[in-house]
Amino acid sequence: MKKFLLSLAVLCSLGAVNAQPADATGKQKVINVNGTAEMEIVPDEIYVQINLREYAKKGGPKTDIETIRKNFLKSTQSINIPDSNISVQGYQGWDGNYWWYNKNKKKNPDMMAGITYQVKLSNTKKMDELVSKLDDEATEGFSIAKVSHSRLQEFKKQLKIQAIKSAKEKAIYLAEAIGEKVGEAIMINDPNEVGNYPRPMYSNMLMKQANAEGDQAAEPNIDFKKIKLQFDVNVSFTLK
């Protein structure tokens, strides 16, 4: 009998601990709040796409794709861009298979083969260095594919934590306004990201053209617009 009473007392005690405060209707009182955190960062990963194609000057021999490819890679090495930052994105009329290339060339003697590279750079200064090394005749296109940051995932984690902390701070002062206190969190929604990944604020190719035309003005110190990261989270807390 004593063991039964002791067990009953323990169960009653556990029930008291797990019970949540309720209003007059018996419903659990909760507060739902939104928390926000944001930051701006300058991208340190700039992915540029470069289209190279065979060409022939008037009265001169054609510069073939293999020569263009080798010269391009030498140029990237000269400004210390590691091979791991360079990848082939596509071929036009040539895929590295000389048999296939020669076969296509016989069918279409005027065919100009091309190759597209993607190069990862750390800043706009390095991008300008690369532009200055390009063969103007072979370069058919130069564009920004995307921008990012090497610590992007770390920043996102920090912002999610800040957003949740912001939500709790808001819940505390809102609850105090009505004489209540915030209890434990009963629901946290995974924060929603609102991101902005901008394009560059100027064109390197246009600046190169201006310099070639004799523009001696000092080059402006312009960088990429910052990436804005923002996280919004919804959290529910009990009131006590």
Residue whose structure tokens are 């071929």: 91
Q: What is the model's pLDDT at position 18?
A: 37
Query: Per-domain residue ranges for the chain?
Result: 21-42+151-240, 45-148
d(CA 137, CA 140): 8
Q: What is the model's pLDDT at position 102?
A: 62
Cross-strand pairs, 48: 119, 144
Q: What is the model's pLDDT at position 113?
A: 82
**Predicted confidence (pLDDT) per residue in 193-223, tens digit:** 876 555 544 444 444 444 454 444 445 555 6
d(CA 43, CA 25): 54
Q: Binning pLDDT at 50, 70 and 90, where does residue 3 land?
A: very low
d(CA 144, CA 48): 4
In whole angstroms, what separates CA 148 from the centre of its chain? 4
21-42+151-240: which CATH topology?
A: Translation Initiation Factor IF3 (3.30.110)
Per the CB < 8 A criterion, the answer to whether 154 and 162 are in contact is no
Is 161 a residue whose pLDDT tops 70? yes
Q: What is the model's pLDDT at position 110?
A: 60
| CATH no. for 45-148 | 3.30.70
Q: Binning pLDDT at 50, 70 and 90, where does residue 105 land?
A: low
Q: What is the model's pLDDT at position 37?
A: 95
Per the CB < 8 A criterion, the answer to whether 72 and 114 are in contact is no
Q: Which residues contact 124 (CB under 8 A, 6 or more apart)?
A: 46, 200, 204, 222, 223, 224
Q: 84: which 2 tokens?
A: 């791991």
Is 14 a residue whose pLDDT tops 50? no
Q: What is the model's pLDDT at position 225?
A: 76
Is 68 a residue whose pLDDT tops 60? yes
Q: Which residues contact 33 (CB under 8 A, 6 or more apart)?
A: 167, 168, 170, 171, 174, 234, 235, 237
In whole angstroms, what separates CA 140 from the centre of its chain? 26
- Report helix, strand or coil for 57: coil
Q: What is the model's pLDDT at position 52?
A: 94
Rg over CA atoms, the chain = 31
